Amino acid sequence: MSAADASASGAAPSLRPRARKVRVLATLGPASADLAMIRKLYLAGADAFRINMSHGAHADKATVVAAIRSLEQEYGRPTTILFDLQGPKLRVGAFDGGIVVLKVGDPFVLDRDPTPGDTTRVSLPHREIFEAIAVGARLLLDDGKLVLRVTACAPDRIDTVVEVGGALSNSKGLNVPDVVLPMAALTEKDRRDLAFALEQKADWIALSFVQRPEDVAEARSLIGGRASLLAKIEKPAAVDRLEEILELADAVMVARGDLGVEMPPEEVPRLQKHIVETARRLGRPVVVATQMLESMIRAPTPTRAEVSDVATAIYDGADAVMLSAESAAGDWPEESVAMMERIAISVEADPGYNARIHFTQTPADPTTADALAAAANEIATTIGAKAILCFTSSGSTARRVARERPAVPLLVLTPVPETARRLGLLWGAHAVLTRDVDSFEAMIAKSKRMALRHGVASAGDRIIVMAGVPFGTPGATNVLHVVRLTGDELANYKRV
């Protein structure tokens, strides 16, 4: 529906669904921590905001949360907050003089001795690596710029040979891609940050350093249903157990930065498609992240390759695309969000877009709710319905419908604020916080009002309504009804 049509039906701009289905997740940071800039990002197209717990004080994060919630009140649209936990950080020790140069073919030792290192050795303060490492494994230093190959290992010493050399300075990061480390995904810092995030009523928690399903299970137990859980796939071990992890997580992120360090870069596009496809098949929202518009950290426009990268994720059917440093620390945060918005609108306007996002098959589970969600999409296409409206308390009905990637708007009506906010990462979902209904007649009447108020339908249009009876029972979707809006209803709505 055009803006003029929406205006004619009485829908205020802040009430209308976004002009595209894919969600935009913007990271907040030094360049975007005040209310004025957060408002600009929201108006430019940000559906959800990421708060990175790797940096900054809790008090500063609380101020950011308050700013986001004030925007929610100002514009009347539920807004999503994701807290991203740092996870374990593996680093080498210090060097005498602060920096050394490692040469290809030279031996190099990592040990437990805290004495400053040199060109032959350095301390490694992570006993878990000594416990798990094996001969032949790789150690990647400084985001993969240097590569060591293990030639021998002992409880307090790892002998290696330098395969890719270069300069190495104090406390540079270390990646161990070839073994599963006996380390929990949650550090003591993460536990403190998680408790704070839950106090701030976070909508989503992003879990870093996921290696196995047990990592997700531990975090889910600590969260206790107070937020949704997103597993970041950034390690080869997590890719190997992807389906098991997705069974326990509420959503997944393709964390391409760390994944691209631990895997050969040419493997990342294939893995991205695999993760997106698997998440879609299992009905989990999937976010594609890292370096999407990297050049916009310093430049007002992206490269054509970056635009194509974002477009590819959207064509694959990702639920959300994420900005990192572009919106958190760059010179053009608002422009980065606006660019992401324009790319998404352009892709989704492609006549071939609908066919492309359905390349991935998403067979319905043998449940009434899944069958009705699949039917709603089919019926909308067949009869030319203008929108699908679903009543939900938990959000499960919306997730089932979104998995089908319907071509029409999806309005999700819920009386639960937490549910409305968590839907900000779900493809196509426009969450509306509203009182619950208690009868079939009330459901139909409210559906008509909401379709008009939010500008997704007008007189003579048909909409599809989904709900569960008895009303207010989570997970009980068992009703699908087709409704036609009449001219009398439009006239009555305008009078109200």
Active-site annotation, residues = 50, 91, 232, 290
Q: For residues 362 and 364, give the distance between their C-alpha atoms in angstroms, rounded to a whole number.
A: 6
Q: What single-letter DSSP state applies at residue 266?
A: G
Q: 126: part of which helix (H) or strand (E)?
A: none
CA proximity to 337, closest of 67, 45, 72, 52 = 45
4-42: buried (b, 16+ CB within 10 Å) or exposed (e) per residue?
eebeebbbeeebbbbebbbbbbbbbbebbbeeebbbbbb
Residue carrying structure tokens 């003029």? 4
Decide: 68 and 49 in contact? Cβ < 8 Å.
yes
Q: For residues 11 and 8, give the distance between their C-alpha atoms in angstroms, rounded to a whole number.
A: 7
Q: For residues 24 and 301, give the distance between their C-alpha atoms in angstroms, rounded to a whole number.
A: 17
CA proximity to 412, closest of 96, 95, 80 = 80
Pairing of strands 251-255, 228-233: parallel
Helix or strand or coil: residue 300?
Answer: coil
Residue carrying structure tokens 């740092």? 86
Decide: 84 and 206 in contact? Cβ < 8 Å.
yes
Q: What single-letter DSSP state applies at residue 97?
A: T
Bridge partners for 157 per DSSP: 111, 154
